[in-house]
């Protein structure tokens, strides 16, 4: 046996051409092996003696072997799942698909999955370990089963990308769109100041008293920050609902043949019930920002503009006292258009800028909620596509942002105060 191993290492093994191929693993490094295979000037040692029925087998390792014509990592056929087993796993009646795992159960199950995958693709261990750390952080930060809902959505998205695009998602990267979908409006269980799980933010000894109008936060529990009884009802405003000037039934009729039905359902439902702003979590305490200087310089203009906003249904109020136990008041101001001189109301949702508290904008992830306007290049591309003789048209929607109403669970975070009255975006 020792002699045979020495022969294999020397690369001089020979075999009859009619016999079954023999594979041998060399102890040489990948670099040296690759050089030996690819060097056109390399002449392997020819067989000696009278054995004219033998041929030379060059040294190869797994480091030099790649699938034919693809160059992608090798995945053995034995690891593939049969159609019969796949049908059993995906069967509607399989109770395992409807089971909601607790966090310890998920860690155990995912650990087994990770080990199986890494048997074939060991380079993915760091990626899957990072994913498990992300899930662990979500579970500890929000509690409940929200982490598992995120996992199911992400794994389904990963499977779809493989099936449709033959692309593998990086599991170590947080999907901000799914984070916003599943965790919007849910309270963090840990302290946002020091990260401790033993107390809430408003009880943290390291937090500074940020406002004289601060109120204790709600008890930390998993679920949307929607009161059991709408505080607006206590103020005699039972009919206040999300409002929009858009004729939703007519819009739905016009979009009945739109190819993206998911988008149409999202749009129509949001116009009726209100849209979520995408906040990763709700502030645990109230905070009151002072108004901008422009508001105090033009108080009559603010009066007029605020009254118009309320009449159009874009804002609710005014209230003598905040109808919400926890609320956020952002600075209000007046801006003048450069050419027309028209006055408009502005609200600074990036305040406070001194770091005393998280601003509303800082709680909304940038990537899935950024707005990009059409450019001149876009118009040129449309002209090229339409060809000569095309007509151009431009539409300007009045109050384009405000016609998209906020969900009632978000109203308390989009408030302003003027002349000691509270007004909230609706």
The answer as to whether 93 is a domain residue is no
The answer as to whether 129 is a domain residue is yes
E strand or H helix at 159: helix 146-165
Closest CA to 235 of 421, 103, 50: 421
Domain boundary among 124, 148, 183: 183
Q: In angstroms, rounded to a whole number, what is the distance separating the alpha carbons of residues 205 and 203?
A: 6
Relative to beta strand 287-288, strand 328-329 is parallel
pLDDT at 11: 52
CA 411 to each of CA 23, 280, 360, 424: distance values in angstroms, whole numbers, following the listed order:
70, 15, 12, 6
pLDDT at 204: 63
Q: Which residues of the chain have pLDDT under 70?
A: 1-83, 85-97, 187-239
* DSSP for 278-339, written as a single string: --SS--SS-EEPPPPHHHHH-HHHHHHHHHHHHHHTSEEEEESS-SSSS-EE--EEEEE-TT
Closest CA to 403 of 270, 300, 291: 270
Local structure of residue 228 (DSSP, 8 states): S
Helix axes of 146-165 and 125-142: crossing angle, nearest 10 degrees: 150
Domain boundary among 166, 183, 200: 183
Task: Give the total number of structural domains in the chain.
Answer: 3
Q: CA 361 from chain center: how many Å?
A: 16
The answer as to whether 305 is a domain residue is yes
pLDDT at 309: 93
CA 155 to each of CA 148, 161, 353, 355: distance values in angstroms, whole numbers, following the listed order:
10, 10, 38, 36
Burial class of residue 245 (count of CB atoms within 10 Å of its CB; 0-12, 13-18, 19+): exposed
Q: Are residues 279 and 155 in the same domain?
A: no
Range of 289's domain? 232-366+402-425
Q: CA 105 from chain center: how many Å?
A: 24
CA 172 to each of CA 179, 309, 354: distance values in angstroms, whole numbers, following the listed order:
14, 44, 33
The answer as to whether 388 is a domain residue is no
The two tokens of residue 33 are: 């092996």
Q: Are residues 163 and 249 in the same domain?
A: no
Closest CA to 347 of 317, 309, 398: 309
Q: How many CB atoms lie within 10 A of CB 171?
A: 20
Q: In angstroms, rounded to a whole number, what is the distance separating the alpha carbons of residues 186 and 39?
A: 62
The answer as to whether 66 is a domain residue is no
Relative to beta strand 14-16, strand 54-56 is antiparallel
Domain boundary among 183, 210, 242: 183
Q: Are residues 265 and 353 in the same domain?
A: yes
């Amino acid at each position: 046996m020792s002699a045979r191993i020495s022969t294999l290492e020397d690369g001089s093994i020979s075999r009859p051409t009619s016999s079954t191929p023999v594979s041998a693993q060399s102890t040489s490094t990948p670099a040296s092996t690759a050089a030996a295979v690819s060097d056109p000037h390399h002449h392997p040692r020819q067989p000696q003696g009278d054995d004219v029925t033998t041929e030379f087998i060059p040294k190869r390792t797994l480091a030099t072997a790649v699938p034919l014509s693809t160059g992608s990592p090798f995945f053995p056929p034995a690891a593939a799942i049969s159609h019969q087993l796949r049908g059993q796993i995906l069967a509607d009646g399989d109770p395992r698909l409807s089971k909601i795992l607790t966090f310890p159960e998920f860690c155990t199950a995912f650990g087994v999955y990770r080990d199986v995958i890494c048997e074939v693709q060991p380079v993915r261990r760091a990626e899957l370990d990072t994913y498990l750390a992300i899930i662990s952080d979500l579970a500890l930060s929000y509690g409940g089963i929200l982490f598992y809902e995120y996992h199911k959505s992400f794994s389904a998205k990963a499977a779809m990308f493989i099936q449709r695009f033959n692309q593998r998602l990086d599991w170590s990267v947080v999907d901000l769109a799914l984070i916003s979908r599943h965790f919007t409006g849910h309270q963090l269980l840990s302290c946002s100041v020091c990260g401790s799980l033993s107390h809430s933010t408003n009880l943290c000894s390291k937090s500074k008293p940020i406002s004289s109008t601060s109120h204790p936060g709600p008890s930390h529990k998993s679920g949307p920050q929607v009161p059991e009884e709408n505080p607006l009802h206590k103020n005699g405003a039972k009919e206040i609902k999300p409002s929009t000037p858009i004729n939703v039934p007519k819009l739905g009729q016009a979009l009945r043949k739109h190819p993206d039905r998911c988008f149409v359902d999202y749009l129509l439902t949001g116009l009726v019930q209100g849209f979520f702003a995408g906040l990763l979590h709700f502030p645990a305490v109230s905070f009151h920002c002072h108004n901008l200087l422009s508001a105090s310089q033009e108080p009559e203009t603010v009066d007029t503009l605020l009254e118009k906003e309320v009449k159009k249904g874009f804002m609710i109020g005014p209230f003598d006292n905040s109808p919400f136990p926890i609320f956020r008041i952002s600075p209000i101001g007046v801006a003048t258009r450069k050419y027309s001189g028209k006055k408009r109301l502005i609200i600074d949702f990036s305040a406070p800028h001194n770091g005393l508290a998280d601003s509303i904008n800082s709680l909304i992830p940038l990537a899935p909620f950024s707005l990009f306007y059409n450019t001149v290049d876009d118009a040129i591309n449309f002209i090229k596509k339409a060809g000569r003789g095309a007509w151009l048209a431009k539409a300007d929607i009045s109050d384009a942002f405000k016609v998209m109403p906020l969900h009632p669970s978000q109203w308390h975070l989009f408030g302003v105060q003027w002349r000691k009255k509270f007004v909230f975006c609706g």
